Structure 1
Amino acid sequence: MEFSYSDDGYILLGNIIERITGKSLASAVREELGFSRIGVLDTWWEILEEPPAGVVPRTRQWIGNREVTNVHASVDLFGGGGLLMSARDMAIFWKALFEGKIFAQPGTLDEMLRQGSHKDSDRYRLGMFAEQFNGRTFYWHSGFWGTYALYDPATRTAVAGVTTQQLAFRDLVAIARRQVQGLESQGTEH
């Protein structure tokens, strides 16, 4: 069995969630994952929801020298993307996820993190990537439009960031990793 990342599975999952809950994907995800309960307040599904009152307006986005801010969200929606979230909200969500505050059953997170038997299973789990550096396992996920979230179980630290220039994505990843590595040397958690 071989692994290849694709949004198709997430689109299918979004459809399954809507059918099981009888709600729109936006409502189901917001309620089931407890966004309000954990303090994720600056987050909304593009097209499917209105931006929250008082949220900072979305910034312009670029791929190379082409502005893509107004590309219609239907190209990246329905489970495969379309969730607009501040870096703060991403970090809050990732910390809550890994500290057992999202799922009612602890086994759900355990299953997400379990290494499968497929090729490259050392790198990909359910919905996130696992990576070894500095002798430890870190978990991360990124979005096509320049988002990155990272969690370090050893220091219980979540780091998230956004770049408006997709070509600067590698720099964003390097900055996030340096932040986590710096906290490790200080013996702190965030």
Structure 2
Amino acid sequence: MNKKLMNGEIPLNFKKNPYERIQWHDDVEDPVTGEIIEEGTPFMSEYANNFEWGIFNAYRFLNEMYRQMERMRVQMELDGRVPGNSGTFADTLDGSSNKIILDKAMTDIIEAVIIGTTTLKVASVNGFAPFTQVTIFDDLHSEDVIITEIGTDSIKVQALKNAYKKGAKVARSNVTVDTVNAEMGVGDWQTYNVELVEVV
């Protein structure tokens, strides 16, 4: 058999049906003696995998088609409400490119701070700008403040209403986007236990 059987994921930009169908044949038996005159199609793992990958890739294609139709539906609905909008303020949370981009700038506070602090020493200032709002949070507290000034290794903000631990986060958006389930969830602050091992 010269058919090209599926054995993994395939590109979704195909122009013809990529699935090569197998024509199955039964054994041909002598009705009197029961002897097999002609053998039918053998059941082999490569044929079974062709089934499985064919089904898997078909569902991948259906999911991609659904995402594209969902984006078109949202864009059409927005155009009906705000002519000329062209879906600028829509995001179907499927990981596809969009006209608006989620600002994921985030950094760590490298020294614990107390209530009333206005200068935060941070690991990085990349992605942050004056007069933008950020969320500061750890495992106990959270608040939104406005950045007033950006230094080389610090960020000045409005006076804090809470105290924060070393390692607390400063983020433009404390959100996690799940592109598989097309959902937006709340990000979390995590702690880790580090065990030091002597290297000889």
Query: TM-score normalised by the shorter chain: which range applies?
Result: under 0.3
- Kindly indicate which of the two structures has a greater share of residues assigned to helix: 1
TM superposition score normalised by structure 1: 0.18
Tell me which structure has the larger Cα radius of gyration. Answer: 2
TM superposition score normalised by structure 2: 0.18
Greater relative contact order, per chain length (Cα 8 Å cut-off, separation 6+): 1
